[in-house]
Amino acid sequence: MSLRGNARRREIQLAYLLLSPALLLLLTVLAYPVGWELWTSLTDLSPLSDGPQAFVGFENYRRLLGDAEFWRAAAVTVVYAAVTSVAKLALGLGFALLLARPFRGRALVFLAIFLPWAYPAGVSVIGWYWTLNPPTRTAYAPFMGHLKFVVDSAFGGGAWAFASVILFNIWRGSSFIAVLLLAGINAIPPELFECALLESKSAWRRFRLVTVPLLKPFLALGVFLSLTSAFADLANVWMLTGGRVVFPVLGTQAYWLGIKVGRFAEGAARSLSLVPLLVLAMLLLFQWFDRREEEDRAA
């Protein structure tokens, strides 16, 4: 074997050695719980059952297909994820473009934009809940109460609580998307923007033909992370609604079945039903990214 081959093999071994702590953490924190949950969804595990757990195969998943409440929660989850992801991406991109240019007070604006994500989520949820649902008599409490009545009257009971969850997710998530896209903009060589400025005086044309294509990896990652956080959003939905989830998402249904009712197997199956949606979203995003990359190489 040549010296170059030996050096290459040592580099690969070193790479695996450096990756081993992260791989071990991934296996213990993610792979094992997911594997246990998958196995549980194939059984009838429940503390309400007297006998030992039995393997039932895909029976729990078959029941989901005939459960109207499951399909209602799935539709609400998809709408919730789509609305929040589009809003977070639009706001995050706008904030990133704003912060990409130097101006007086830029540091304070950056802090104000990033603070919602950096602040502890539990405290933010409580503050947001008190803002939209004032627990005491304040100057704006009558206005918020009237607004809640109008929204619930127009869209049904619980609509105001669901709108509060959507607004909180957008408020908190758009700051993270903004910082992610700002990092992507800063990674683009300034010479490309200077050349684009010489080619076209239209800011919209430069944004559409230069900025967006160069931000494709960051946009795809931002959309996927947004969808993931929305699909797995249990704590925020539960706390903002006080546990009274009138518009349920799949996460809250799985929590209720597994923890509150004790039907562990059915709760596990319901939570794992999110996996195909996330995999489909990931495949579509990577397909879009790969197609654009092939078009760029062909051009």
Question: Which residues 6+ apart lie within 8 Å of 150 measured at CB?
Answer: none
Grade residue 297 by pLDDT with cuts at 50, 70 and 90. low
3 state DSSP class of 55: strand
In this prediction, residue 50 carries a pLDDT of 74
Question: Which residues 6+ apart lie within 8 Å of 140 measured at CB?
Answer: 134
Grade residue 296 by pLDDT with cuts at 50, 70 and 90. low
Q: Are 184 and 263 in contact (CB under 8 A)?
A: no
C-alpha span between 151 and 112 (Å, rounded):
29
Grade residue 246 by pLDDT with cuts at 50, 70 and 90. low
Q: Are 199 and 210 in contact (CB under 8 A)?
A: no
Residue with tokens 């071990």: 24
In this prediction, residue 291 carries a pLDDT of 59
Mind giving me the DSSP string for 134-188?
A: -SS--TTHHHHHHHHHHHHHHH-TTHHHHHHHHHHHHHHHHHHHHHHHHHHHHHS
Q: Mean pLDDT, the chain, as a whole number?
A: 81
Q: Are 171 and 236 in contact (CB under 8 A)?
A: no
* Residue range 112-142, pLDDT digits in tens: 888 888 777 777 877 777 777 777 777 778 8
CA distances from 243 to 17, 74, 192, 234, 246 (A): 45, 18, 51, 10, 9
Question: What are 14's two structure tokens?
Answer: 């070193």
Grade residue 217 by pLDDT with cuts at 50, 70 and 90. confident
- The yes-or-no verdict on residue 1 having pLDDT over 70 is no
- The yes-or-no verdict on residue 201 having pLDDT over 70 is yes
Phi, psi (deg, nearest 5) at residue 43: -120, -175
pLDDT greater at residue 72 or residue 229: 72
Q: Are 136 and 148 in contact (CB under 8 A)?
A: no
In this prediction, residue 87 carries a pLDDT of 93
Helix 216-231 with 68-99: angle, nearest 10 deg:
140
In this prediction, residue 290 carries a pLDDT of 62
Q: What average pLDDT does the segment 223-244 reach?
A: 75
In this prediction, residue 3 carries a pLDDT of 61
* CB-CB neighbours of 264 under 10 Å: 22
Mean pLDDT comparison of 114-123, 126-135, 217-226, 286-295, highest-scoring range = 217-226
AA letter at 298: A
Cα angle 81, 77, 71; round to 5: 150
